[in-house]
Structure 1
């Protein structure tokens, strides 16, 4: 049974802290997102196809990778990785030629091309594989995709850890996550009775026909699915946009009822873009969790900000953007999300070896949040695009960042589709915060650190704000260090040790600041500590009345 299936609908309605509520939603989201099937293609290895595929892949890497790399190195690494299919295969490099051996017996010898032409090296690679196939039973049984995967895994192994190759069906899943897919708009878990719907997304076909959380799908197009795997069910539910699917569903007549009625829904699939925004209003504060960045993130974020403004009006005190455990996503969406809050100035710059990688992105719209304060929460798993958003808001003095040092994934990957519908993602640039420092290897240093041994409670944070120990100075946070200076980077990161576990303390501190203007001003460095002690003390009494957890 899937890991998140222990969350019953009844459990989801119990009073939970903000962190617990968000964690439940995030876990369900991940189960839905990971449920798409992956099957190896049965395509037979073909030398001509392989040559074209390797050639294009080699071209992309040598042209766009952030560091200059020799195509011969890529080809040899790919060939060397063939031993993952059959360990008896050995590639011997003699400097100007390679020998292919099987079980210690030489099979063929190939002289190296005279130039660094990708097609020449691709042909050499495909020819060497052809000779292996004549002797190796494992290669004779392997599909073309399995062989391509072995080669490209060897290729990307020569690059940095963020470059990757995705086989065709996994690549399709990646594209679905970024751009959307033909579907219904439900999140479900596989149970013995069928596909138990955990939630129905807003403005989706499932919602329009009346499907509800708690419904259990037992048949798709009148075919029983109860004995199928989660992957197989997902494959049946997804399909071309505007195509129709019939669902047979079990539904309890009432929440407490034992008896279930059987219903049939006819649903027309539409493009579904996975929702990455969760909005929870509480005490005139808008809590917004951003779990990732896909094509709908900024649009959804704008919608939730507008909703908060409409619901709370002049009583709205500010926004908490929760980026904890947000591993990133589309760079363009992180930039446009930052643009919702920053009226002017730089959002991010990127720099690499390829001329097109040198880009500077500036804010060019009005502050959609209308100047209300913004708090950003980060932790050790806030990475990539989430770090871009956090750094942009922090450096522009538009937000206060609370939490621990973030992941430090400061590189940009360019994704290319290959002829077999696979993808190769190549690191082609590093991004820099508006103040100029490179995020790679260092991450974002919060204004208010909640992971130091001296910080255990909200009162500890208040005391450090009043004494001037917090916030961490911008001079410290934005100091420029070379990525290769590991000792200096480790000392900087030790200022606010990383924590992967979201903490209620971070939420409590954020709420305290938004509810207490004088302390918020101290956190922004707007007031002199000695002159504001009396005001801050009065504000602390107000904040002390806040609940420990948000229900």
Structure 2
């Protein structure tokens, strides 16, 4: 399904597969359609520049930006920015804007003059851009040796430079990775690291063909379909392992490096979804960690909650939802996840220039947690969709929030699939918490702040709570200064300074509060401190 028909995508961090210097590869194909696409054909980053392809590509990119970007911007500005950025490939290329025409200079000398289109049509300006690039290729050796994708990237980087920092172009291979994370893919369900012998399995995902077949962490894959992979790149190895749904792949595996044995596997590729929700139980408290939001997060969350309820029954004390380091994901999924726990009221409001961007999302289901207490953990890396879930639960009175001020990425991006397999995303709306404040630039202020003063232990926080200093006042948490009022925004954020740590302190505080209903109510602002309430 084209993402343009399901536009409410919102993210801060793409789930890239490089972390701490380790390459993580989820093996599979995009599940956006049921057909198999040859990755070497569809995503050939070395293909030559094609003027007709460029015209279509720029036309669709310009049109997407001019129609949906949160601020009005015309195609001429985008085209000139795209052409001006061609200097990143060859600094001798220079575009001189005369107001009604442009001059293409090379090495300081004018080469040609091009009149501007008489219309702001995206197609007309895209044709001009593609034509100028074709001419530049006849002048510049650097351009002549650049691939089509390198040229497209330079042009779109120029376009993105006219927009906000969350609008961007993702080249085809990165776009495919992003689609896999959002939608799932057909594959095996392993993560691996390229090593001299082949591919060392870093982890085997639950409920996947790889797990069913018996692959294990630390196995080294040496052959794929009888082909030695020791000298192949990650891209080629991944290409060998992926394929259409229900197709089979043969793996030769070396297990136990001290006394190695060789094993043969034949595995059927199946639909793989990136697992974003993990759960555990401690002292009758359910701990739910959400790493990001893809199209399966809500259903996974629901199933894990129900499983815990069945296991614990009446002994279940409450829930901790950990959103620390959660950079976001799908906006619609964040709303649906909030709706699992909120019975009524507004979850989030979005406002932008395009009429379709103006939405009020309200809860319309029953609280799956059945009223049991909920605590949300956040830090400065909690952004976008995780902030939507946090704001909805906090403002509805459904949860206490513990941690530090969140990131403050309060914008929504709309995606466009481009003809070369790339994606263009543009900011088209800002979202507001149920109490009305704009999340952008200010973030979510928690009820219980763990970064204020010398509050370094659970005892410190409980002491602040009992003394009435915490929770942070409602009027501070819901303050809504203008986005350009930097002083006011800084003052709000200073009430709970940002921290990117994920220490055990927040979890310990949450467990302490869930074990004490009186202290939980105090932290929620339902009561005022009294002697009887603070001696438990």
State if a TM-score over 0.5 links the two structures: yes
Match of 2:24 among 16, 20, 32: 32
Question: Which of the numbers 152, 162, 167 marks the counterpart of 1:163?
Answer: 167
Q: Distance in 1 between matches of 2:273 and 2:82?
A: 35
Which residue is equivalent to 2:320?
Answer: 320
CA contact (8 A) 1:183 1:271 kept: yes
Task: Give runs of ≥4 in structure 1 deviating > 4 Å.
Answer: 25-31, 33-40
Q: How does 1:202-213 map to 2 (within 5 A)?
A: 202-213=206-217
Structure 2 partner of 1:52: 56
Equivalent in 191, 198, 204 of residue 195 of structure 2: 191
Any conservation in 2 of the 1:107–1:131 contact (CA below 8 Å)? no
> Which consecutive unaligned segments of at least 5 residues does structure 2 have?
1-16, 29-38
Match of 2:533 in 1: 535
| Residues 291 and 231 (structure 1), Cα distance of their counterparts in 2 relative to 1, 3 Å cut | same
Q: Which has the higher contact order (CA 8 A, sep 6+)?
A: 2
TM-superposition CA deviations, 1:199-254 (whole Å, max 9, x none): 222221112222223332221111122333333322322222211101112234xx
Query: Which residue of the other structure, out of 200, 214, 229, is the alignment partner of 2:204?
Result: 200
Aligned to 1:44, the other structure's residue is in SS state coil
Q: Distance in 2 between matches of 1:315 and 1:76?
A: 65
Looking at structure 2, the residues matched to 231 and 373 of structure 1 have their Cα atoms a distance apart, in angstroms, of: 46
The 5-angstrom pairing of residues 342-357 of structure 1 reads 342-357=342-357
Cα distance in 1, alignment partners of residues 507 and 222 from structure 2: 41
> Which residue in the other structure is 1:251 paired with?
255
| Correspondence 1:118 to 2:122 | yes
Cα distance between partner residues in 1 of 2:273 and 2:177: 12
Does 2:388 align with 1:395? no
Shift of 1:415: 0.4
2:415 is paired with a residue of what secondary structure? strand
CA deviations over 1:423-442 (Å, ceiling 9, x no partner): 10010000111111110000
Deviation of the 1:309 alpha carbon: 1.4
List per-residue Cα deviations over 1:389-442 (Å, max 9, x = no partner). 000000011110000000000000000011112110010000111111110000
Post-superposition shift, 1:450? 0.2
Aligned partners of 1:191, 1:131: CA distance in 2, in Å?
44
Deviation at 1:34, TM superposition (A): 7.9
| 1:433–1:33 distance in 2 versus 1, CA, 3 Å | farther
Q: Secondary structure of the residue that 1:534 maps to in structure 2?
A: coil
Q: 2:463 aligned with 1:476, yes or no?
A: no
In the TM superposition, what whole-angstrom CA distance separates every residue of 1:525-549 from its partner, at most 9, and x where no partner exists?
A: 122213xx23321x2xxxxxxxxxx
- 1:493-521: CA deviation from partner (whole Å, max 9, x where unpaired): 00000001112111111111111111111
Q: Does 1:74 align with 2:78?
A: yes
Residue 419 (structure 1) aligned with residue 419 (structure 2): yes
CA distance in 1, matches of 2:339, 2:525: 23
Secondary structure of 1:535's partner?
coil
Provide the rounded CA distance (Å) in 2 between the counterparts of 1:281 and 1:213: 24
Task: Give 5+ residue unaligned stretches, structure 1.
Answer: 1-24, 540-551
Q: Match for residue 298 of structure 1? A: 298
Q: Is the 8 A contact 1:33 1:177 kept in 2?
A: no
Alignment partners' CA distance in 1, 2:201 and 2:222: 11
Deviation at 1:46, TM superposition (A): 2.0
Partners in 2 of 1:111 and 1:163 — Cα distance?
29
**Per-residue deviation, 1:33:** 5.3
Among 228, 241, 246, the residue aligned to 1:242: 246
**Distance in 1 separating the partners of 2:62 and 2:26:** 29
Distance, in Å, in 1 between the alignment partners of 2:66 and 2:424 is 13
Which whole-Å CA distance do the structure 1 matches of 2:292 and 2:240 have between them? 26
Is residue 26–residue 291 contact of structure 1 (8 Å, CA) maintained in 2?
no
Q: Quick one: distance in 1 between partners of 2:25 and 2:350?
A: 29
Give the equivalent residue in structure 1 for 2:35. none
**Corresponding residue to 2:231 among 223, 227, 231:** 227
Partners of 2:306 and 2:263 lie apart in 1 by 36
Q: How does 1:372-521 map to 2 (within 5 A)?
A: 372-521=372-521
Instruction: Give the Cα–Cα distance (whole angstroms) in 1 for the partners of residues 87 and 27 of structure 2.
Output: 30
Give per-residue Cα distances to partners, 1:119-175, cap 9 Å, x unaligned: 111111111112111111111111211111111110011000000001122211111
Displacement after TM superposition at 1:31 (Å) = 4.6
- For residues 251 and 343 of structure 2, the distance between their equivalents in structure 1, rounded to whole angstroms, comes to 47
Question: CA–CA distance in 2 between the matches of 1:381 and 1:279?
Answer: 20
Tell me how far 1:29 sits from its aligned partner: 13
Residue 178 of structure 2 corresponds to 174
Aligned equivalents of 1:493, 1:447: Cα separation in 2: 13
CA drift at 1:30: 8.3
Contact 1:35/1:231, CA 8 A, preserved across alignment: no
Q: Post-superposition shift, 1:283?
A: 1.4
For 2:534, what is the secondary structure of its paired residue? helix
Structure 2 vs 1, CA of residues 28 and 149 (structure 1 numbering), >3 Å: closer, same or farther? closer
**Retained in 2: the 8 A contact 1:181–1:238?**
no
110-119 or 336-345, which moves further after superposition?
Answer: 110-119
Contact 2:224 / 2:240 at 8 angstroms: preserved in 1? Answer: yes
Report what 1:87 is aligned to.
91
Greater share of helix: 1
The one-character-per-residue Cα deviations of 1:291-322 (angstroms, maximum 9, x if unpaired) are: 10111111111121122112222211111111
- In the superposition, the TM-score normalised over structure 2's length comes to 0.91
Cα distance between partner residues in 1 of 2:253 and 2:270: 20
Measure, in 1, the Cα distance between the counterparts of 2:258 and 2:129: 63
